Structure 1
Amino acid sequence: MIEGVKQIVAVASGKGGVGKSTVTVNLALAMAARGKRVGLLDADIYGPSQAQMLGIAPGTRPRMIDESTMAPIEAHGIKAMSMAFMVDVETAMVWRGPMVAGAFQQLLNQTAWGELDYLFIDMPPGTGDIQLTLAQKVAVAGAVIVTTPQDIALLDARKGIEMFRKVNVPVLGVVENMSLHVCSNCGHAEPIFGEGGGERVAALYQTEVIGRLPLKLSIRERSDSGCPSVVAEPDGEVAGYFNAMAERVDQQLGTTVRKGPSIGFS
């Protein structure tokens, strides 16, 4: 375990574009709203987005505590660390896998997180080097899988769940994003990406759907503006979805502590 951090939760997806980062930041903020001490690590080295979602100004750099330890950046009551704090937003990270895995370990282990109840890790999409490094080196308490209802996204979500199962990381549940679109003009509701996919995947892997999110313009706008829905409208409908997710994660992990890293692939 990382000293002072009680629970580490990976938020993952089998593919990009399903809203994983938006779910991660709002889930972390909802957990903080429950009175928990929360950190957020943006592990997407190639495409970090949490700095913008948290409203942290471009060019912000972490304070160095000593030669090898950084202080996290605080925003909206949570502690955050991201590759976006190390490089300019225009800089492309043209790195091979080992360099990316090394950068991830530095961000994770050389940040002075302090006392945290939960550290949420916004994983890059897929099942690559960072996922493997996380499973082998870190005591992950559980994973949340984000998907959308269409069949292609569900195929990739299954791969993500299989990966975590192979390394003995419990899957806490599935979040089905963009599950329903409600027309802002007429109020007609339609599952334009399909329906029931989250339940099918959850049933297949003996887990549960811990949340369904509508395809709603305000969710995207709030994240882009640096003030996510849970902070912008704490009593609103969208915040209610994330609060329910945070409550379910807390129910599952609140009394357990993962003692050691998972067994990795050979």
Structure 2
Amino acid sequence: MPEGDTAWLTARRLHQALAGRAVTIFDLRVPELATSDLKGETVTQVLARGKHLLTRFGNDLTLHSHLRMDGSWYLSRTGGPRPRRYPEHMIRARVGNEEWTATGYRVHDLRIVTRSGEATLVGHLGPDLLGPDWDPEQAVTNLLAAPDETIGEALLDQRNLAGVGNMYKCEVLFVEHVHPWTPTGKVRDLTSLVNAAQRLLRVNRDHPEQSTTGMLGRGREHWVYERSGAPCLRCRTPIQRADQGKSPRARGTYWCPTCQPAAR
């Protein structure tokens, strides 16, 4: 599931393949952008902002995309076989040059804006955990603006800090011994918590595998995430799961009742 580290790695690989080269392939398969054509322009930069991807061109335009729950970009050699990750009808975008072609499967929120217009799409985001603007003090201030909200829901609110998804939410709360339903204002050390989140994303950003335990063995990559009923890797207590948040945004949340006791 794409989270901030996945978006960061995707942006880096797209930048390496596309930046500094003239576009020879530009195909957006959404009705409102179907006639858009940036062939001949040069890609200057591809960067991630939280879970958003911004592909900048030399003519001051930016192509925005979002991975959401199921989006992905794949690279292939131009003129060679296309990646067969998903059926053809799932392709939403193709951007390429004479050497590389980036194919976006099920990517969301495709927009073309001017550079100054990027703020309308990502200006609401809090400090980016993997960006140059990372500011733990601001992240804590943002979280404390709603002290009665559960910390599990607050971490997923990208307006507080950008990049944490459901998996990292569960894992960082376990690492910090915080029960997911603790009111944000009652968390003992929010600074430690947001810094732990940043560390977890940083150590995973350079490779597609996501491990918060330091292990890659099947079923041992994560402390609690998607391990409902399995024994805690620390104390052997069965991991619990429950939906958190209001429908339709409720997310499956995992925690160890011994390592993460509920606040009194």
Task: With the length of structure 2 as denominator, give the TM-score of the two structures.
Answer: 0.29
Task: With the length of structure 1 as denominator, give the TM-score of the two structures.
Answer: 0.29
Give the helix-richer structure, 1 or 2: 1
Q: Which has the higher contact order (CA 8 A, sep 6+)?
A: 1
Which structure has the larger Rg over C-alpha atoms? 2
